């Protein structure tokens, strides 16, 4: 149901709190344990629409999932009677494509309008090379496919995408032979960490030119593992930026995932002058976890490109809000991937920053923002176009505004962070 969010700017953020479980780790905790032998207990799993889509699809494949327990199928799933509906979730469809490329039945995967418009050839191409058969086009959902993994192949991905990497690894671990996978730079590595914890053996190295190579011989059995999912840094990012730009703010986000392949947002904000302290670092379920304290600070412009982009790709919309509040010019390059997320996020960023009253220009692979303190005196109205992260970034922009902000399409937030507005109001004084 369409939902318009309204808020008035101002106030400060204060308090100690957690954000919901990491979305990427939660999807993997379900999908990898579904493939494994044995039973796993999951704590801190994200409870949002994208995760409901993954759980529902796995249920159709015969997997038994209770809120905090999952029983693995030991490598063999049952054929679903109906198409698998992945909703709005790119991670669900792409990871399931990899999982099902190792199974010997026909299946159709589909999703909502946004998901049906997103590129799937980047996954279907490599999986075809590994023996999967796709009916008709492979460029977008709905996709009908059947498995038949014959590995012994080298796959080079042109994008640093953890979804592509994970799909390929899910097929390779079920197939016969040696897979070599190379990506242009290391994308988030939650799959590698969890597969290792499940007993999968593979070589993993960064080549002298910065590319990342994995070599894995299949088939291998995965042993189910319990997972304690840390808070999602991609959800925390909205609060990290909000606390940085609202003078007088002081927050601590506890039990947060700080995997180095995900902490680009902290590095970028620190380069801008943000006041962020990382405390109580520990390793939980193979993932780095910490508490982070954020106090408001005067920010200045920054240039972001190259390897930093995959380490913060989902955080760029809210980083753009911080850039609008900074002094001086900021630029983002090498971020073409933003065009093919839940919406064209460069277009979304342009709308938000323009509404904040700052000059912004789009470039083919990024954008430039001239910081202007970000304090709009006129009312802001943004259509989130079905994109959860554009909706939440627009809300953070609204916190700086001297007037009212309206965000239409706010229901999209439920994909990743249903409690976002409540939590924000709880910590805003």
Which residue's CB is nearer to ligand S3P, number 23 or number 400? 23
> Where does 287-387 have alpha helices with state H?
316-325, 345-355
Q: How far is the CB of 101 from ligand S3P (least distance, A)?
A: 16
CA angle 219, 224, 227 (to 5 degrees): 130
Q: How far is CA 322 from CA 215, 235, 317, 424, in A?
A: 40, 15, 9, 17
Judged by beta carbon, residue 170 or residue 427, the one nearer ligand S3P is 170
Closest contact distance (angstroms) between CB of 10 and ligand S3P is 31
How far apart are CB 426 and ligand S3P at their closest, in Å?
25
162 vs 396, beta carbon nearer ligand S3P: 162
Give ∠ CA 182-185-190 in degrees, rounded to 5. Answer: 85
CB of 361 to ligand S3P, least distance (A): 24
Where do contacts with ligand S3P occur on this chain (CB under 6 A)? 24, 27, 91, 161-163, 166, 188, 313-314, 337
Determine whether 314 is an active site residue: yes
Contact 240, 314 (CB under 8 A): no
Hey, which bits of 21-152 come out as E strands? Answer: 39-43, 64-66, 69-71, 84-85, 106-110, 133-135, 143-146
For residue 186, the SS3 value is coil
Beta carbons of 133 and 145 less than 8 angstroms apart: yes
List the Cα angle 414/415/421 in 5-degree steps: 35
Using the minimum distance from each CB to ligand S3P, give the nearer residue, 288 or 374: 288
Residue 185 or residue 376: which is nearer to ligand S3P going by CB? Answer: 185
408 three-state secondary structure: strand
Distance CA 101, CA 110 (A): 15
Considering only CA atoms, which of 260, 304, 253 is closest in space to residue 276? 253
Beta carbon nearer to ligand S3P, 102 or 264 = 264
Round to whole Å and give the CA distance between 165 and 213. 10
Please state, in angstroms and rounded to a whole number, the distance separating the CA atoms of residues 76 and 324. 51
Smallest separation (angstroms) from ligand S3P to the CB of 300: 27
Min dist CB 357 to ligand S3P, Å, is: 29
Judged by CB, which is closer to ligand S3P: 230, or 374?
Answer: 230
Residue 97: phi and psi, rounded to 5, are: -55, -45
Neighbours of 228 (CB within 10 A): 17
Residue with tokens 């609204």: 398
Q: Which of 50, 232, 314, 387 is catalytic?
A: 314
- Least gap, CB of 24 to ligand S3P (angstroms): 3
Asked if omega into 142 is within 30° of 0 (cis), the reply is: yes
Q: Which residues are catalytic?
A: 314
């Amino acid at each position: 149901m369409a939902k318009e969010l309204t808020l008035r700017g101002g106030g400060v953020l204060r308090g100690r709190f957690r954000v919901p479980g990491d979305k990427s780790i939660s999807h993997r905790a379900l999908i990898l344990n579904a493939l494994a032998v044995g039973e796993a207990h999951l704590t801190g799993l994200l409870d949002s629409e994208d995760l409901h889509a993954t759980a529902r699809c796995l249920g159709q494949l015969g997997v038994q999932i209770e809120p905090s327990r999952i029983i693995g199928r030991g490598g063999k799933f049952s054929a679903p009677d109906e198409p698998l509906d992945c909703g709005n979730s790119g991670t669900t469809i792409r990871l399931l494509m990899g999982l099902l490329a190792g199974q010997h039945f026909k299946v159709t995967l589909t999703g909502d309008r946004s998901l049906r418009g997103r590129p799937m050839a980047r996954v279907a191409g490599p999986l075809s090379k590994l023996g999967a058969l796709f009916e008709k086009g492979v460029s977008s959902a709905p996709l009908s496919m059947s498995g038949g993994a014959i590995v012994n192949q080298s796959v080079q991905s042109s994008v640093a995408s953890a979804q592509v990497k994970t799909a390929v690894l899910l097929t390779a671990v079920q197939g016969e032979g040696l897979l070599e996978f190379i990506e242009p730079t290391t994308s988030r590595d939650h799959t590698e960490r969890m597969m290792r914890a499940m007993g999968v053996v593979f070589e993993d190295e960064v080549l002298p030119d910065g590319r990342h190579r994995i070599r894995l011989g299949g088939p291998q059995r995965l042993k189910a593992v319990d997972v304690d999912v840390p808070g999602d840094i991609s959800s925390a990012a909205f609060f990290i930026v909000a606390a940085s730009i609202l003078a007088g703010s002081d927050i601590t986000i506890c039990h947060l995932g700080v995997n180095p392949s995900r902490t680009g947002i902290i590095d970028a904000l620190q380069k801008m002058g943000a006041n962020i302290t990382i405390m109580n670092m520990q390793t939980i379920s193979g993932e780095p976890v910490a508490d982070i304290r954020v106090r408001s600070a005067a920010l200045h412009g920054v240039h972001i490109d190259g390897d930093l982009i995959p380490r913060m790709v989902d955080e760029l919309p809210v980083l753009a809000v911080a850039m609008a509040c900074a002094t001086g010019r900021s630029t983002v390059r090498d971020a073409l991937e933003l065009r093919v997320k839940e919406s064209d996020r460069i277009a979304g960023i342009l709308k938000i920053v323009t509404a904040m009253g700052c000059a912004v220009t789009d470039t083919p692979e990024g954008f430039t923002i001239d910081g202007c303190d970000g304090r709009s005196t006129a009312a802001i109205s943004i259509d989130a176009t079905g994109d959860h992260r554009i909706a939440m970034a627009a809300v953070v922009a609204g916190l700086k505004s001297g007037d009212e902000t309206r965000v239409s399409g706010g229901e999209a937030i439920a994909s990743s962070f249903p409690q976002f507005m409540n939590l924000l109001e709880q910590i805003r004084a």
